[in-house]
Amino acid sequence: MDPDTEDWSYQPPSTPAGFQSIYVRQPDGYDFARLTWQVCDECRIGLIAKIRVTGPWQRHGYGSRMVRLALRDCDGYRWTTTPQSELARAFFPAVTAATGVDFPAQAHLCEHMRAREPRHFENSRPLAPPPR
Protein backbone atom coordinates (compact mmCIF):
# COMPACT_ATOMS: atom_id res chain seq x y z
CA MET A 1 0.00 0.00 0.00
CA ASP A 2 1.93 2.98 -1.27
CA PRO A 3 -0.04 6.25 -1.58
CA ASP A 4 2.43 7.47 -4.21
CA THR A 5 1.37 4.78 -6.63
CA GLU A 6 -2.39 5.25 -6.21
CA ASP A 7 -4.24 6.49 -9.20
CA TRP A 8 -7.51 8.30 -8.47
CA SER A 9 -9.91 8.91 -11.31
CA TYR A 10 -13.43 10.19 -11.81
CA GLN A 11 -15.99 9.12 -14.34
CA PRO A 12 -18.63 11.84 -14.92
CA PRO A 13 -22.29 10.99 -15.47
CA SER A 14 -23.57 10.65 -19.05
CA THR A 15 -26.97 12.09 -18.10
CA PRO A 16 -27.53 14.97 -15.63
CA ALA A 17 -28.56 12.69 -12.77
CA GLY A 18 -26.81 9.56 -14.05
CA PHE A 19 -24.21 7.31 -12.49
CA GLN A 20 -20.83 8.77 -11.68
CA SER A 21 -17.90 6.93 -10.20
CA ILE A 22 -14.61 7.32 -8.40
CA TYR A 23 -11.95 4.65 -8.90
CA VAL A 24 -8.72 4.22 -6.98
CA ARG A 25 -6.30 1.99 -8.87
CA GLN A 26 -2.98 0.30 -8.41
CA PRO A 27 -0.30 0.82 -11.07
CA ASP A 28 -1.47 -2.40 -12.78
CA GLY A 29 -4.91 -0.87 -13.22
CA TYR A 30 -6.73 -2.89 -10.56
CA ASP A 31 -9.36 -0.71 -8.89
CA PHE A 32 -9.17 -1.61 -5.21
CA ALA A 33 -11.63 1.11 -4.22
CA ARG A 34 -14.66 2.26 -6.10
CA LEU A 35 -17.71 4.40 -5.41
CA THR A 36 -20.68 4.75 -7.73
CA TRP A 37 -23.38 7.30 -7.00
CA GLN A 38 -26.07 9.52 -8.48
CA VAL A 39 -27.01 13.09 -7.64
CA CYS A 40 -30.04 15.07 -8.82
CA ASP A 41 -29.51 18.81 -8.40
CA GLU A 42 -33.13 19.47 -9.29
CA CYS A 43 -34.57 17.25 -6.56
CA ARG A 44 -31.59 17.74 -4.24
CA ILE A 45 -31.14 14.08 -3.53
CA GLY A 46 -28.22 11.70 -3.75
CA LEU A 47 -27.93 7.93 -3.93
CA ILE A 48 -24.86 5.85 -3.11
CA ALA A 49 -25.37 2.98 -5.53
CA LYS A 50 -22.24 0.96 -4.82
CA ILE A 51 -19.23 1.19 -2.58
CA ARG A 52 -16.38 -1.29 -2.55
CA VAL A 53 -12.95 -1.36 -0.93
CA THR A 54 -10.98 -4.57 -1.42
CA GLY A 55 -9.80 -6.48 1.69
CA PRO A 56 -6.25 -5.26 2.40
CA TRP A 57 -7.21 -1.67 1.67
CA GLN A 58 -10.15 -1.60 4.08
CA ARG A 59 -10.04 0.52 7.22
CA HIS A 60 -7.59 2.98 5.70
CA GLY A 61 -10.13 5.72 5.09
CA TYR A 62 -10.68 5.17 1.36
CA GLY A 63 -14.43 4.83 1.77
CA SER A 64 -14.77 8.05 3.76
CA ARG A 65 -12.56 9.98 1.35
CA MET A 66 -14.58 8.82 -1.63
CA VAL A 67 -17.90 9.63 0.03
CA ARG A 68 -16.69 13.08 1.11
CA LEU A 69 -15.86 13.79 -2.54
CA ALA A 70 -19.32 12.68 -3.59
CA LEU A 71 -20.91 14.95 -0.97
CA ARG A 72 -19.01 17.98 -2.18
CA ASP A 73 -21.34 20.70 -3.55
CA CYS A 74 -24.37 18.82 -2.19
CA ASP A 75 -25.08 20.75 0.98
CA GLY A 76 -28.49 19.93 2.38
CA TYR A 77 -29.20 17.14 -0.09
CA ARG A 78 -31.03 14.08 1.17
CA TRP A 79 -29.07 10.87 0.69
CA THR A 80 -29.97 7.21 0.60
CA THR A 81 -28.12 4.06 -0.32
CA THR A 82 -28.99 0.70 -1.76
CA PRO A 83 -29.20 -2.30 0.59
CA GLN A 84 -25.55 -2.97 1.19
CA SER A 85 -23.11 -5.68 2.05
CA GLU A 86 -22.20 -6.29 5.66
CA LEU A 87 -19.05 -4.28 5.19
CA ALA A 88 -20.91 -1.28 3.85
CA ARG A 89 -23.49 -1.44 6.62
CA ALA A 90 -20.65 -1.25 9.13
CA PHE A 91 -19.08 1.52 7.09
CA PHE A 92 -21.94 3.98 6.79
CA PRO A 93 -22.34 4.73 10.51
CA ALA A 94 -18.68 5.87 10.51
CA VAL A 95 -19.28 8.09 7.49
CA THR A 96 -22.40 9.52 9.12
CA ALA A 97 -20.40 10.28 12.24
CA ALA A 98 -17.74 12.05 10.15
CA THR A 99 -20.07 13.98 7.84
CA GLY A 100 -23.33 14.38 9.73
CA VAL A 101 -25.13 12.92 6.71
CA ASP A 102 -27.46 9.96 7.11
CA PHE A 103 -27.52 7.15 4.54
CA PRO A 104 -30.67 5.12 5.11
CA ALA A 105 -30.65 1.91 3.03
CA GLN A 106 -33.95 2.74 1.34
CA ALA A 107 -32.76 3.68 -2.12
CA HIS A 108 -34.77 6.65 -3.32
CA LEU A 109 -34.56 7.45 -7.03
CA CYS A 110 -36.26 10.36 -8.75
CA GLU A 111 -37.47 10.36 -12.34
CA HIS A 112 -34.26 12.11 -13.44
CA MET A 113 -32.11 9.37 -11.92
CA ARG A 114 -34.18 6.79 -13.74
CA ALA A 115 -33.64 8.53 -17.09
CA ARG A 116 -32.26 6.09 -19.60
CA GLU A 117 -28.50 6.40 -19.97
CA PRO A 118 -26.89 6.46 -23.40
CA ARG A 119 -24.80 3.45 -24.29
CA HIS A 120 -21.56 5.34 -24.43
CA PHE A 121 -19.73 6.25 -21.28
CA GLU A 122 -17.87 9.43 -20.54
CA ASN A 123 -14.12 9.02 -20.30
CA SER A 124 -12.58 8.88 -16.87
CA ARG A 125 -10.34 11.73 -15.93
CA PRO A 126 -7.61 11.99 -13.34
CA LEU A 127 -8.64 13.16 -9.89
CA ALA A 128 -6.38 14.71 -7.26
CA PRO A 129 -6.40 12.39 -4.23
CA PRO A 130 -8.63 13.97 -1.59
CA PRO A 131 -7.21 14.74 1.86
CA ARG A 132 -7.23 11.95 4.41
By CB under 5 A, name the one of 27, 42, 44, 89 that touches Zn ion: 42
103-109: list long-range contacts, CB under 8 Å, 24+ apart.
103/48, 103/79, 104/80, 105/80, 105/81, 106/80, 107/47, 107/49, 107/80, 107/81, 107/82, 107/83, 108/45, 108/47, 108/78, 108/80, 109/38, 109/47
Nearer to Zn ion, 23 or 79 (CB): 79
Task: Kindly state whether residue 60 participates in binding Zn ion, applying the rule CB under 5 A.
Answer: no
Query: Minimal distance in Å, beta carbon 15 to Zn ion?
Result: 11
Task: Kindly state whether residue 87 participates in binding Zn ion, applying the rule CB under 5 A.
Answer: no
Residue 25: which of 55, 48, 53, 44 has the closest Cα? Answer: 53
Task: Kindly state whether residue 43 participates in binding Zn ion, applying the rule CB under 5 A.
Answer: yes
Task: Kindly state whether residue 40 participates in binding Zn ion, applying the rule CB under 5 A.
Answer: yes
Binding pattern for the stretch 93-112 against Zn ion, x by CB under 5 A and - elsewhere: -----------------x-x
**Which residues are at the interface with Zn ion (CB under 5 A)?**
40, 42-43, 110, 112
